[in-house]
Amino acid sequence: MAHITPSHAGFPRTAAVIPAAGRGVRLGPGIPKAMRPLGGVPMLVHAVHAMASSAAVSLVVVVAPPGDEEGLAKVRALLAEHPPASGAELAVVPGGATRQESVRLGLAALPDDVAVVLVHDAARPLVPAATVDAVVAAVAAGAPAVVPALPVTDTVKRVAAPAAVPGAPEPVVATPDRALLRAVQTPQGFDRATLAAAHARHAEDDATDCAGLVERLGLPVVLVPGHEEAFKVTRPLDLVLAEAVLARRRTDDAH
Ligand code: C5P
């Protein structure tokens, strides 16, 4: 079992939960998104290493697609083949039908002594260590919920409802002030008890991020600066961008 490094003695035990049970249909047909290769290695491995790159993180729990023992064994073997340099402990548990359910199952697998939890999408494989550290630091400083975020560069329109037929013209109902909008990323960091309460209280809700559940509890959520390299790999073009970022990092490392 891995332990927090001596420089983090006294720091609350911190674990990362990585929901990786999505199918990733927007990337096109084929293997689950987290298993898509990036620089020759599945995206999930990059995401695990990104979490373990923060010295505070001593455990990473990966939530894999449910209902497939062979699939779980494959994920375990993959991670054993690519252990993080930090020596952080790894665990793999089966997920659920929604991201929220997958996160809840990951949280349930954490040992009792974990007090701070990061929730990180497998689909954000390239988040820099400094961003992870900034989130951990803000939780350690007392914030119950911390979210990395960036200003939005596109103007955003609100429509009344999603189009019934994809591609059909959609009437605009509002244009929110862009200066007040932020695009949020992961890892989102939480005081564990706060996150567990949010998930227990809103188990039936359909939130696209964990911080949204904490907001519904009426507790404060704060933003810290995100990073452009923490983008989510959703569409085929995102894979091209991710490969380019990785290639640039490798060139930078070689010099
Ligand atoms: O679908 P979306 O891109 O928002 O998914 C975000 C993250 O949630 C991905 O890492 C995906 O694997 C994960 N997820 C999950 N369980 C689901 C659906 C999504 O772990 N049932």
Average pLDDT, rounded, for the chain: 92
CATH code: domain 6-159+172-254 is: 3.90.550.10
Query: What mean pLDDT is predicted for residues 1-24?
Result: 72
Tell me the one-letter amino acid at 78. Answer: L
**CA distance linking residue 194 with residue 166, whole number of Å:** 38
Q: Is the pLDDT of residue 29 over 80?
A: no
Query: What mean pLDDT is predicted for residues 246-252?
Result: 94
Task: Using the mean position of ligand 1's atoms as its centre, give its distance from the Cα of residue 244 in Å.
Answer: 23
Cβ of residue 102 lying under 6 Å from some atom of ligand 1: yes
Half-sphere exposure of 19 (CA within 13 A, CB side): 26
User: Which long-range contacts (C-beta less than 8 Å, at least 24 apart) are formed by 6-11?
Assistant: 7/55, 8/55, 8/56, 11/56, 11/140
- The reply to whether the predicted model has a pTM over 0.95 is no
Cβ-based neighbours of 109, under 8 Å, separated by 6 or more: 61, 91, 93
Cβ of residue 105 lying under 6 Å from some atom of ligand 1: no
| Per-residue model confidence (pLDDT) at position 10 | 67
| Per-residue model confidence (pLDDT) at position 32 | 83
Which pairing describes strands 114-119 and 13-19: parallel, antiparallel, or unpaired? parallel
Cβ of residue 19 lying under 6 Å from some atom of ligand 1: yes
The pick from 121, 209, 239 for probing ligand 1's pocket by mutation, whose C-beta has the most ligand atoms within 8 angstroms, reads 121
Which of 22-26, 184-188, 205-209 is predicted most confidently?
A: 184-188
Q: Is the pLDDT of residue 5 over 50?
A: no
Higher pLDDT, 172 or 9: 172
Cβ of residue 121 lying under 6 Å from some atom of ligand 1: yes
- In the chain, domain spans: 6-159+172-254
Cβ of residue 97 lying under 6 Å from some atom of ligand 1: yes
| Per-residue model confidence (pLDDT) at position 6 | 39
Cβ of residue 56 lying under 6 Å from some atom of ligand 1: no
| Per-residue model confidence (pLDDT) at position 246 | 96
| Predicted confidence (pLDDT) per residue in 113-158, tens digit | 999 999 999 999 999 999 999 999 999 999 999 999 999 999 999 9
Cβ of residue 44 lying under 6 Å from some atom of ligand 1: no
Q: Which of 237, 229, 188 is nearest to 212 (CA)?
A: 188
Cβ of residue 86 lying under 6 Å from some atom of ligand 1: no
Task: Using the mean position of ligand 1's atoms as its centre, give its distance from the Cα of residue 65 in Å.
Answer: 10
Tell me the one-letter amino acid at 45. Answer: V
| Per-residue model confidence (pLDDT) at position 45 | 98
The pick from 44, 63, 99 for probing ligand 1's pocket by mutation, whose C-beta has the most ligand atoms within 8 angstroms, reads 99
